[in-house]
A and B are shown apart, each in its own frame.
Chain A
Amino acid sequence: MKPAKFDYHAPASVEEALALLRRYDGEARLLAGGQSLVPMMNFRLVAPAALIDLNRVAGLDYVVADGATVRIGAMTRQRAIEFSPLIAARLPLLRDAVRRIGHLPTRSRGTIGGSLAHADPAAEIPMVLRALDGQVVARGPAGERRIAAADLFVSPLTTALASDEILTEIRLPAMPDNAAHAIEEFARRQGDFALAAIAVTVAPAAGGRHTVRLATGGVGPVPQRLVGAEAILEQQGFGADTIEAAAARAAELVEPLGDPHASADFRRHLTAVLTRRAVTAASRALA
Chain B
Amino acid sequence: MTGIDVDYVGRALLRREDRRLLTGAGQFVADLELSRMLHVAFVRSPLAHGRIRTVDLRAAAAAPGVVLALNGADLLRLVPPAPDAQLSLPSKWTAAVQHDFLNPQQPLLAHDKVRFVGEPLAVIVADSRYAAEDAAELANVELDPLPAVVDAAGALAAGAPILHEHFGTNRIGHFTITKGDVAASLAAAPHRLRRRFVHHRYAAMPMECRGVVAAYDARSDAMTIWSATQVVHWLRREAAHVLQMPEARVRCIALDVGGGFGVKGHVYPEDLLIPFLARRLGRPVRWIEDRHEHLLCSAHSRDQVHDVEIGFDDDGHILALDDAFTADSGAWNTLGAGIAYNTAVHLPGPYKIANYSSSATIAVTNKVPNSAYRGAGRPEAAFVMERLVDLVAAELKLEPAEIRRRNMIRADEMPYHAGLLYRDGEPIVYDSGDYPEALEKALDAVGGLVAFRRHQAEERQRGRYVGLGIGCYVEGTGVGPFEGATVRLDPGGKIYVASGACPQGQGMETVFAQIVADQWRVSPDDVVLALADTAAIAMGFGTIASRSTVTLSAAIHHASGKLRDKVFAVAANMLECAPADLELRDSSVGIVGVPGAAVSLAKIAAAARPGWDHSRPSGVDAGLEETHYWEPPTVTWSYAVHVAIVDVDPDLGRVSVARYAVAHDCGTVVNPLLLDGQIAGGTAQGLGGVLLEELVYDESGQLLTGSLMDYLVPTASDVPEIAMIHLAAPSPLNPLGVKGVGEGGAVAPPAAIANAVGDALAPFGIEINRTPIRPEELVAAIRAARSR
Number of residues of chain B lying within 8 A (CB) of chain A: 29
Q: Which of B137, B292, B652 contacts A1 (CB 8 A)?
A: B292
- Asked whether A2 and B654 contact (CB < 8 A) given A260-B704, A261-B710, the answer is no
Asked, given contacts A5-B134, A260-B704, whether A189 binds B692 with beta carbons under 8 Å apart, the answer is yes
Chain B positions 688-725 with a Cβ under 8 Å from a chain A Cβ:
692, 694, 696, 704-705, 707, 709-710, 712, 714-715, 717-718
A186, CB-defined interface residue at 8 Å:
yes
Q: Identify B651's interface contact among A1, A191, A259, A273, CB under 8 A.
A: A273
A188 to B712, CA, bound (A): 8
User: In the complex where A260-B696, A266-B776 touch, is A189 in contact with B133 (Cβ < 8 A)?
Assistant: no
Q: Which 9 pairs of residues, A with B, have the shortest CB-CB distance?
A: A1-B290, A266-B776, A260-B696, A273-B651, A190-B717, A260-B704, A2-B130, A2-B133, A1-B292
Q: Does B164 count as interface, using CB distance less than 8 angstroms?
A: no
Say whether B291 faces chain A, with CB atoms less than 8 Å apart. yes
Interface flag for A269 (CB, 8 Å) = yes
0/1 interface trace, chain B 754-788, chain A, CB 8 Å (1 if under): 00000000000000000000011001100000000
In the bound assembly, the distance between CA atoms of A270 and B704 in angstroms comes to 22
Contacts of A266 in B (CB 8 A): 775-776, 779-780
- Measured CB to CB, the nearest residue on chain A to B776 is A266
Q: Does A269 lie within 8 Å of B712, measured CB to CB?
A: no
Are B775 and A188 neighbours in the complex by a CB distance under 8 Å?
Answer: yes
Q: Mark A97-130, 1 if CB is under 8 A from B, else 0.
A: 0000001000000000000000000000000000
Which residues of A have CB within 8 Å of B291? 1
Judged by a CB distance under 8 angstroms, whether A4 is at the interface is yes
CB contacts under 8 Å to A, within B229-286, are: none
- Whether the pair A191, B696 counts as a contact (CB closer than 8 A) is no
- A43 CB–B CB distance under 8 Å: yes
Of A43, A186, A192, the residue contacting B712 (CB under 8 A) is: A192
A189 touching B715 by the CB < 8 A rule? yes
Q: Residues of A contacting B654 with CB < 8 Å?
A: 186
Chain A contacts for B134, CB-based, 8 A: 4-5
- Kindly identify which residue among B130, B692, B707, B779 contacts A5, using a CB–CB cutoff of 8 Å: B130
Query: Which residues of the partner chain B approach A103 to less than 8 Å between Cβ atoms?
Result: 715
Excluding A4-B137, A39-B707, A259-B704, 9 further A-B contacts by CB distance (< 8 Å) are: A1-B291, A1-B293, A2-B130, A186-B654, A186-B775, A190-B717, A193-B709, A261-B710, A273-B652
Q: Does A263 make an interface contact (CB < 8 A)?
A: yes
B726 interface residue per 8 A CB criterion: no
Q: How far is the CB of A115 from chain B (nearest CB, A)?
A: 16
* CB <8 Å contact, A190 and B707: no
Cβ A43 vs Cβ B707 within 8 A: yes
Instruction: For A1, list chain B residues within 8 Å (CB).
Output: 290-293
Give per-residue flags for B710-748: 1 if the beta carbon is below 8 A from chain A beta carbons, else 0. Answer: 101011011000000000000000000000000000000
Task: Report the Cα distance A261→B692, complex, angstroms.
Answer: 10
Query: Once the chains are docked, how many angstroms separate the CA of A261 from the CA of B696?
Result: 10
Whether A160 sits at the interface, judged by CB under 8 Å, is: no
A88 at the interface (CB under 8 A from B): no
Are the CB atoms of B718 and A189 closer together than 8 Å?
Answer: yes
Contact code string A256-273 (vs B, CB < 8 Å = 1, else 0): 000111110010011001
- Whether A270 lies near B292 (C-beta < 8 A) is no
Residues of A within 8 A of B293 (CB): 1
The answer to whether B718 touches A190 (Cβ under 8 A) is yes
Q: List 6 A-B contacts (CB under 8 A).
A: A103-B715, A186-B652, A193-B709, A261-B710, A262-B776, A263-B776
Question: Please, how many angstroms separate the alpha-carbon atoms of A4 and B129 in the complex?
Answer: 11
Closest to A270 in B: B652
Bound CA–CA A159/B292 (angstroms): 28
**Residues of B close to A263: CB separation below 8 A:** 776
B388 to A: closest C-beta gap in Å: 28
Q: How far is A4 from B131 in the complex, measured between Cα atoms in Å? A: 9
Count A interface residues, CB 8 Å.
25
Nearest CB in chain A: distance from B628 CB, A: 45
Residues in A with CB closer than 8 Å to B130 are 2-3, 5
A216 to B306 Cα, complex, angstroms: 41
Residues 9-48 of B at the A interface (beta carbon under 8 Å): none
Interface of chain A: mostly helix, strand, loop or mixed: loop
Closest CB in chain A relative to B767 CB, distance in Å: 20
**Distance to closest chain A CB from B124 (angstroms):** 12
**B703's closest neighbor in chain A, by CB?**
A260
Give complex CA distance A3, B704 in Å: 21
State which of A39, A191, A193, A269 has its C-beta within 8 Å of the C-beta of B779: A269
Closest-CB distance, B384 to chain A (whole angstroms): 25
Within 8 A of A (CB), among B642-674: 651-652, 654
Could you tell me the distance in whole angstroms from the C-beta of A250 to the nearest C-beta in chain B?
14
Q: Which residue of B lies closest to A266 (CB)?
A: B776
A2, B129: Cβ atoms closer than 8 Å: yes
Encoded as 1 (CB less than 8 Å from any B CB) or 0, chain A from 36 to 67 comes to 00010001100000000000000000000000
Interfacial residues of chain A within 1-35, with CB under 8 A of chain B in the complex: 1-5
A192: chain B residues within 8 A (beta carbon): 709, 712
Could you tell me the distance between the alpha carbons of A5 and B780 in the complex, rounded to whole angstroms? 47
Cα A98 to Cα B562 in complex, Å, equals: 65
Q: Mark A121-161, 1 if CB is under 8 A from B, else 0.
A: 00000000000000000000000000000000000000000
Chain A residues lying within 8 Å of B137, measured Cβ to Cβ, are: 4, 44
Q: Which B102-140 residues have a C-beta within 8 angstroms of A?
A: 129-130, 133-134, 137
Q: Which of B292, B651, B714, B776 contacts A189 (CB 8 A)?
A: B714
Cα distance A273–B653 in the bound complex, in angstroms: 11
Report the Cα distance A260→B696, complex, angstroms. 7
Which A residues are in CB contact (< 8 Å) with B717?
Answer: 189-191
Closest to A3 in B: B130
CB closest chain-A residue, reference B650: A273
What chain B residues lie within 8 Å of A43 (beta carbons)?
A: 292, 707
Query: Which B residue sits closest to A4, measured CB to CB?
Result: B134
Q: Which residue of chain A lies nearest to B705 when distances are taken between CB atoms in the complex?
A: A260
State the CA gap A62–B712 with chains docked (Å): 35
A192 to B692, CA, bound (A): 12
Nearest Cβ on chain A to B166's Cβ, whole angstroms = 35
List, in ascending order, chain A residues with CB within 8 A of B292's CB.
1, 43
Residues of A within 8 A of B651 (CB): 273
CB distance from A225 to the nearest CB of B (A): 23
CB distance from B368 to the nearest CB of A (A): 16
A120 to chain B, nearest CB (A): 11
Chain A residue at minimal CB-CB distance from B292: A1
Are B692 and A260 in touch, CB under 8 angstroms?
no
Docked CA distance A43–B295 (Å) = 13
A188 lies within 8 A of B692 (CB):
yes
**What are the residues of chain A within 8 A of B718 when measuring CB–CB?**
189-190
Q: How far is the CB of B302 from chain A (nearest CB, A)?
A: 17
Neighbouring B residues of A191 by C-beta, 8 Å? 715, 717
How far is it, in angstroms, between the C-alpha of A186 and the C-alpha of B291 when the chains are bound? 26
CB neighbours (8 Å) of A262 from chain B are 775-776
Residues of chain A lying within 8 A (CB to CB) of residue B707 = 39, 43
For the complex formed, measure the closest distance between the CB of B295 and the CB atoms of chain A, giving whole angstroms: 11
CB of B713 to closest CB in A, whole Å: 9
A188 to B692 CA separation, bound complex (whole angstroms): 7
Complex interface: chain B residues within 8 A of A44 (CB)? 133, 137
Q: Are A260 and B133 in contact (CB under 8 A)?
A: no
Alpha-carbon distance between A273 and B783 when the two chains are bound, in angstroms? 13
B719 CB → nearest A CB, Å: 11
Query: Are A260 and B710 in contact, CB atoms less than 8 angstroms apart?
Result: yes
What B residues does A273 contact at CB under 8 A?
A: 651-652
Q: Which chain B residue lies CB-closest to A192?
A: B712
Cα distance, A284 to B718, chains bound together (Å) = 29
Q: Distance (Å) between the CB of B474 and the closest chain A CB?
A: 32
Bound: A261/B707 CA distance, A:
13
Name the distance in Å between B696's Cβ and chain A's nearest Cβ. Answer: 4
Closest residue of B by beta carbon distance from A262: B776
Residues of A with C-beta under 8 A to B776: 262-263, 266
In the complex, which residues of chain A have a beta carbon less than 8 angstroms from the beta carbon of B779? 266, 269
Which partner residue on chain A sits nearest B692 by CB separation?
A188
